Structure 1
Amino acid sequence: MKRGFVTEAHVVVYCDMCGDVYTENTGESICFDTVQQAVDYIQLRAAGVGWIYDGDRIWCDGCIAADHCDRNGHQFPDTWQATKRLLGISTRLRTCIVCGIPEIEAMP
C-alpha cells in the first residue's frame, strides 16, 4: 500500500508546435500510464476537440487552424468592429473565423 507523497512516472500530452498541454474541462493536464494509452485516447476522444496525432506529431486545435491559414489564407468576415478612442487613433478589427488571429487597421 502506498501512502503519503509518492513520485510516479506518467505521460502528459503537449502540442509539438506550440507546447500547449492537452486539457479538458478542468484546465489541468491528463496523466496517462503509457504513451500508447495517450495515443489511443487522443485518437478516440480528442479528435472531437481538435487535437490530432498523425503517427509522428501531435498538434493542438490552435496550431491546426494556424497551419490551415498559413497554407490557404485567413478567412475574415466582411464586417469590422470599430474602436473609437477619445485621444489618439481609432482602429477597426476583424478576426479570422478559422484561427482567431485578428486583423487590426488604423482608421483615418
Structure 2
Amino acid sequence: MTETHVVVYCDMCGDVYTENTGESICFDSTQQAVDYIQARSAGVGWIYDGDRIWCDGCIAADHCDRMGHQYPDTWQTRKRLLGISTRLRTCMVCGIPEIEALS
C-alpha cells in the first residue's frame, strides 16, 4: 500500500510549515493544505496568494525590500573584546539588525 502526503514549504525560502511541535504537518491533499493555511493565516503569518505559499519571514523581508526597514530610534551599545564597541538596532518588521562600529 502506498500513501501520499502533502507537506507545506515556503516557495521563497523553502522553510517547512510547522506548528508548536516543530514537526511538519502531513495533509491528505494539496487542497487540504491550502485550505488549512488560508484558515490559519491570520494567526501564523503564512499566506497563500493563489500561486505561492509564503512564510512569515519571507513576507516580512518582502515588505522591507519594498518599503524599507523600520528601525527604532534608539540603539543598543555593546562593548566587544579588544575594546571595540558596536551599536545595533533591529528592524521591527523583519528582524534584520543594523550594526555600526564605534571608534
Q: TM-score range by the shorter chain?
A: over 0.9
For the aligned residues, what is the CA RMSD?
1.3
* TM-score normalised by length of structure 1: 0.90
Structure 1 residues without counterparts, runs of 5 or longer:
1-5
* TM-score normalised by length of structure 2: 0.94
The answer for the alignment partner of 2:71 in structure 1 is 76
Which amino acid counterpart does residue 31 of structure 1 have in structure 2?
Answer: C
Distance 2:87 2:37 in 1: 39
Deviations 1:11-31 (A, max 9, x none): 000000000000000011000
Which amino acid counterpart does residue 71 of structure 1 have in structure 2?
Answer: R
Structure 1 residue 86: deviation in Å? Answer: 3.7
Deviations 1:20-79 (A, max 9, x none): 000000011000000000000000013321000011000000000000000000000011
2:10 to 7, 15, 24: 15
The equivalences for 1:44-55 within 5 A come to 44-55=39-50
The answer for the alignment partner of 1:26 in structure 2 is 21
The percentage of counterpart residues that share the same residue type is: 87
Question: Of Structure 1 and Structure 2, which has the larger fraction of its residues in helix?
Answer: 2
Which amino acid counterpart does residue 101 of structure 1 have in structure 2?
Answer: I
Structure 2 residues without counterparts, runs of 5 or longer:
none
Count matched residues.
103
The answer for the alignment partner of 1:57 in structure 2 is 52
Distance 1:51 1:32 in 2: 16
Show structure 1 runs of 4+ deviating over 3 A: none
